[in-house]
Amino acid sequence: MPISDLRTDRRKLLLTVAGAAVAIALIVVVLATVLGGGDGEGDGGPPPGGTLALTAPPDTSGIVGLDGQPAQLTPADLDAIVATIEGYLRDATITPLSQTPDETSTTQAGPAPLAAHFVEALTPRLGGDDALTLTDAHLGVAEDGVSTAKATATLAGLVQDGAAQFVNATIDVVVLAKGVPAEDDEVTIKRSGDLVLRPVEGGWKIAAYKLSVEREFGDRTEESQAASPGAPS
Amino acid sequence: MNRLQSLPTRAWIAAGVALAVGLVGFSVSGVGAQEGEIEIHKTASAETWGYADPVFIAIVGTDDRPGVSGARADAIHVVGINQAQHLGTIINIPRDTYVELPGHGRRKINESHTLGKAELVGQTLSQLTGASVGFVITTNFEGFTNIVNDKGGVDIEVPYAITDSFSGASVPAGAAHMSGEAALAYSRARHGTPRGDFSRTSNQGLLLLSALRQVQAGSPGPKDLIEDVVVLLRHLKTTAGVSPADLYLLAGLAASIPPENILSITMPGTTGSAGGGSVVFPTDAATPVFADFADDGIVQTPPAEDGAGNRFG
């Protein structure tokens, strides 16, 4: 084979490898945006879904043992508790603000995604008056993106014989939503209060809540509160 | 230092929490009680009913004490809590009320504890009122006395003077600060009252509201409530099914309704004879009161207040 042909084949191979690398990189970027990006900040449109992660490790200084002294949650319990808190917040605010109504079963087919994070006895409340405080589904899709400015949780609870019995999570979350239908402007959503979590069937679920929400629309602020029986006063 | 002295002074608030809704405040506030003097029982209906509004809790004081066997329910109250509306109601049931005890025929309601402990008390009250009683909180003479004493007494506005040599009560009308012993005597006084057993159970309701007022005075937050639960767990005789999470949620309930938003209503009834003794029969007026109470824990059209803090049907 002539040397010129060898050079041509090597050039083709390099181009092929480079092209594949670019394609893989593009796929990775797309997947990252779809599966994990979530906040949609600055990407010119709402992502089809997303996550909401705590912006700081949870403060667990309020966890005590039966002797009243500070105690530790097991890593498994802590992970499960945080997963429940983040899952609720994701399905309460990020998911409905990021998806079109047809894709958001929270608004189209009842509170099923939200209900997965609560004990069964609370399910009827999720679609009632409390929904205005528990979720942001009524705002519609934030066409220009959703981002999390703050999401913290302070945990207090009881560990007995090494097992966590219940946890009170005091949350403080700020979400920015741009381009919601009602306002076509940025909405700052401040959600705070207490979630009482208890172990249920191998996982953790919210057994009571007392939450407040402030939605700042620029020239006005809407406030609402909701509490279920047993939430701390 | 004995166990009572070692308890945190504020701890009884928590217990009170659990006891919160009034008597709940005292009954459940077990801080001063010895182990086993307070029992919280989760009824079978509570397993499926959970903590949806309304929540119904029975508060029961028994006459369990040395020399007395087969403890009867000496004080019986059903507390309905509607947290969404921040309202509640205490229905005071005279202990001699003659009703159907599930599985035992018609008897005085105070025998329900003798025959079936807290579970039968809960079943009987659920059947009588139509409200699904989820928890039954029980304490005895000693537990009640210790709880009140541990708190340093209870402040109450006594509507009329009572002197009852049988219970030992000797209380002038007006503001009073009662020790545990005095509060127990007051809550048991039937003689020297305008309406006997009705007055006694109504006065117990007033005592519960006074206790709740003190329980809530500390404005307990989550960490306070957890501390209270911890203290309560050390002194509580729980039955299967009552978890620390249940206690925390009960504590939250107790702390959530202002006493001024809770009405104390005594069951409409009339005295008579049955089974060889004096009893109380619920009158027709009790039916709409119970129905009004059972649907949301709130009696929308309560009987008029008699000027002494009592609402008799």
By Cβ distance, the residue of B230, B249, B255 closest to A196 is B249
> Is A66 in the B-facing interface, judged by CB distances under 8 Å?
yes
> Tell me, what's the pLDDT at B297?
92
> Tell me, what's the pLDDT at B140?
80
**What is the value of pTM for the model shown?**
0.72
Could you identify the residue written with the tokens 């087969």? B70
Q: Which residue is closest to B233 within chain A, CA to CA?
A: A66
Task: Report residue B172: phi and psi, to 5°.
Answer: -80, 160
Distance CA B120, CA B101 (A): 8
Contacting residues of B for A84, CB less than 8 Å apart? none
Q: Do B252 and A170 touch (CB under 8 A)?
A: no
How many Å lie between the alpha carbon of B234 and the closest alpha carbon of chain A? 8
Strands B73-82, B87-93: parallel, antiparallel or unpaired by DSSP?
Answer: antiparallel
Q: Which residues pair with B229 in a beta bridge?
A: none
Between the alpha carbon of residue B160 and those of residues B182, B219, B241, B265, the distances in Å are: 15, 31, 42, 18
> Is A132 in the B-facing interface, judged by CB distances under 8 Å?
no
Q: Residue A121: which H helix or E strand, with range? A: none
Peptide linkage before B54 cis (omega within 30 of 0):
yes
Task: With beta carbons less than 8 A apart as the criterion, state whether A158 and A65 touch.
Answer: yes
How many Å lie between the alpha carbon of B156 and the closest alpha carbon of chain A? 24
> Tell me, what's the pLDDT at A45?
41
Tokens for A113, please give them. Answer: 């995604």
Q: Do B250 and A230 touch (CB under 8 A)?
A: yes
pLDDT one-digit tens code per residue, A85-102: 999 999 999 999 987 554
By Cβ distance, the residue of B55, B234, B248 closest to A196 is B248
Between the alpha carbon of residue A138 and those of residues A104, A131, A181, the distances in Å are: 11, 9, 10
How many of the other CB atoms lie within 10 Å of CB of A64?
20
> Which portions of chain A are predicted below pLDDT 50?
3, 6, 25-48, 102-110
pLDDT one-digit tens code per residue, B64-112: 776 666 788 888 999 998 877 888 999 999 999 999 999 999 999 999 9
Angle of helix B141-151 relative to helix B180-188, nearest 10 degrees, comes to: 130
Distance CA A141, CA A145 (A): 9
By Cβ distance, the residue of A120, A194, A229 closest to B83 is A229
Q: Which residue is closest to B87 within chain A, CA to CA?
A: A229
Tokens for B125, please give them. Answer: 């009250």
- Could you give the residue ranges of the DSSP H alpha helices within chain A? 3-31, 75-89, 95-98, 105-108, 112-115, 123-126, 131-134
Q: Residue B81: which H helix or E strand, with range? A: strand B73-82
Q: Do A166 and B248 touch (CB under 8 A)?
A: yes
Chain A residues 190-229 within an 8 A CB cutoff of chain B: 194, 196, 198, 207-208, 227-229
Consecutive sets of 10 residues in chain B, 313 residues long: mean pLDDT of each?
29 35 39 59 68 82 73 89 86 94 95 92 96 88 78 86 91 92 89 85 84 72 81 68 84 82 90 90 93 92 69 65
Tokens for A49, please give them. Answer: 């879904």
Could you give the ipTM of this predicted complex?
Answer: 0.71
Q: Do A230 and B49 touch (CB under 8 A)?
A: no
How many Å lie between the alpha carbon of B220 and the closest alpha carbon of chain A? 8
Sort residue B36 into left (φ over 0), alpha (ψ -120 to 50) or beta.
left
Residue of B28, B49, B2, B17 lying closest to B251 (CA atoms): B17
3-state secondary structure of A194: strand
> Tell me, what's the pLDDT at B122?
94
> Tell me, what's the pLDDT at B47?
60
Q: Do A229 and B55 touch (CB under 8 A)?
A: yes
Residues of B with CB under 8 A from a CB of A: 49-55, 81, 83-84, 219-223, 225-227, 229-231, 233-234, 243-245, 248-253, 255-256
By Cβ distance, the residue of A129, A156, A170 closest to B226 is A156
Contacting residues of B for A162, CB less than 8 Å apart? none
Residue of B252, B280, B300 lying closest to B92 (CA atoms): B280
How many Å lie between the alpha carbon of B209 and the closest alpha carbon of chain A? 18
Q: How far apart are the first and last CA of chain A?
A: 85
Q: Which residue is closest to B18 within chain A, CA to CA?
A: A230
